[in-house]
Structure 1
Amino acid sequence: MGALMLKEIRSFLNSITGYLVIVVYLLINSFLLWMFPGVFNILEGSYASIDSLFLVSPWVFMFLIPAITMRMFADEKKAGTMELLLTRPVTDMQIVLSKFSAGFILVLFSILPTLIYYVSVYQLGNPVGNIDNGGAFGSYIGLLFLGASYVSIGVFASSLTENQIVAFLIGVFLCLFMYIGFEQMSELNLFGNADLFILSMGISEHYTSMSRGVLDSRDMLYFISLIVFFSLATRLVIQSRKW
């Protein structure tokens, strides 16, 4: 499993696409948070905070993470190496987890440089250090859970097709639907007393809670359940090739 994970990471970092994804994520955040005037600009804020990072990242990740995961299974199918992969002495779930772990580590590589934003705001505070450290820490935890959820969705999308572009589009659609789809459905007033339950099925409700720095076990359980669900769904798709 570890060898498969390292193979995925090396394959990603050996291509220009890998670095482009990380650079694009950092550039978009840097422009919106530091250069472009508007509600996300940190320097125009009235207090020292990097909340803008956690407002922008879900939307940027919605496109960049499917770009990371789109080739993971689709490429194997197109190259005809999927059958060879399935003959290795590893279980289908281990294959899925190796792909997921590789994707999550790459997302982590993208997030780590944003700690520069935190250090910068920490130093710019008046007085120095006038920032909600607990809130920032909790928000980063929420961002990691969000990234992991998007990775599991992207890996599932990649398992459905051998076309990387199709896998990317499916991944973007599913991430978008899981993020705000249930929230939009709950506002239609079609489900009566079940509106709150429908709302709680979406990522946005739980991510927003964690972005406030509140680490509620219910939110963490939701993200873990979502990751497990899409990982099991991916395994089911892989197993269907044997039927």
Structure 2
Amino acid sequence: MKSILLKELNSFFSSPIAYLVIAVYLLINGLFLWVFDGDFNILHAGFADLNNYFLLAPWIFIFLIPAITMRSFSDEINTGTLELLKTKPITNWQLIFGKYFASLILVIIAIAPTLIYIYSVFQLGNPIGNIEFGSTVGSFIGLLFLASTYTSIGVFASTISKNQIVSFIIAVFISFFFYYGFEALSSYNLFGNLDYTIQNFGMSAHFNSISKGVIDTRDLIYFITLTYFFLLLTNFRVQYEH
């Protein structure tokens, strides 16, 4: 797994991909949170917190993470190197985890510089230091779990087609559906008492729960289970890909 992980990371950082992903993520967040006038601007909000960042980041990830993962397996399938990799003394799971963790590490590197927002909001508070650390730390933890699930979805989508653009679109659709689709369905009140249950199938409900600063094991189990589910589907696809 380590060799695959290092190979993927080297592939990211030896091309513009890694730098572009990090730059785009930081630029979009920076512009919306600190420059552009609008609902997301922290300076115009009238209170010092990072809620707007945690509202914005999951939507950016819906498009950014599939852009990272779309080549994971689709490129191997397209060039025929997947069959060659399967003959190496590594298991399918080692191959999958190597690609999965390489993509996730890149996402974490993109998130890391935004930790400075905590200091910025800390200084902007009135009085200085008037920030809710519990919810802020919880939101960052939730963002990491959310990113891990998006990454597993993206890696799975990359096994569906040898065309990277198709893999990207599939990953965006699945990520969007699991983040917002169930919440949207429940809002129509079509299922009576089941609306709340349907809402809790979505990632948004669990992310928002963690963002309140209370780390509920049910929310963590949800993200871990969903991540494992898509990695399991990835293993199935890789196993039967010829």
Deviation at 1:127, TM superposition (A): 2.3
Of all paired residues, the percent bearing the same amino acid is 54
Could you tell me which runs of 5 or more consecutive residues in structure 1 were left unpaired when the two chains were aligned.
Answer: none
1:151-205, CA deviations, whole angstroms, 9 ceiling, x for partnerless residues?
Answer: 0000000011111111100010010011111112223333333222211111111
Query: Counterpart in 1 of 2:138?
Result: 138
Letter of the aligned partner of 2:228 in structure 1?
A: V
What's 2:166 paired with? 166
Aligned position for 2:80: 80
* 1:124, distance to aligned residue in structure 2 (A): 2.0
Q: Distance in 1 between matches of 2:165 and 2:222?
A: 29
Q: What amino acid maps onto 2:34 in structure 1?
A: W
2:95 corresponds in structure 1 to 95
Q: RMSD between aligned alpha carbons?
A: 1.2
The aligned counterpart of 1:38 is 38
Matches within 5 A, 1:13-162: 13-162=13-162
Question: In structure 2, how many angstroms separate the alpha carbons of the residues matched to 1:131 and 1:186?
Answer: 33
Matches of 2:131 and 2:192, distance apart in 1: 41
Kept after mapping to 1: 8 A contact 2:134/2:212: no
Deviations 1:34-59 (A, max 9, x none): 01111111111222111111000010
- TM-score when scaled to structure 1? 0.96
* Partner secondary structure for residue 159 of structure 1: coil
Number of residue-to-residue matches in the alignment:
242
What is the rounded CA distance, in whole Å, between the counterparts of 1:182 and 1:69 in structure 2? 24
CA contact (8 A) 2:107 2:147 kept: yes
d(CA) in 1 for partners of 2:190 and 2:55? 28
How far apart in 2 are the matches of 1:236 and 1:51?
Answer: 38
- Matched AA of 1:144: L
Runs of 5+ unmatched residues, structure 2: none
Aligned partner letter, 1:75: D
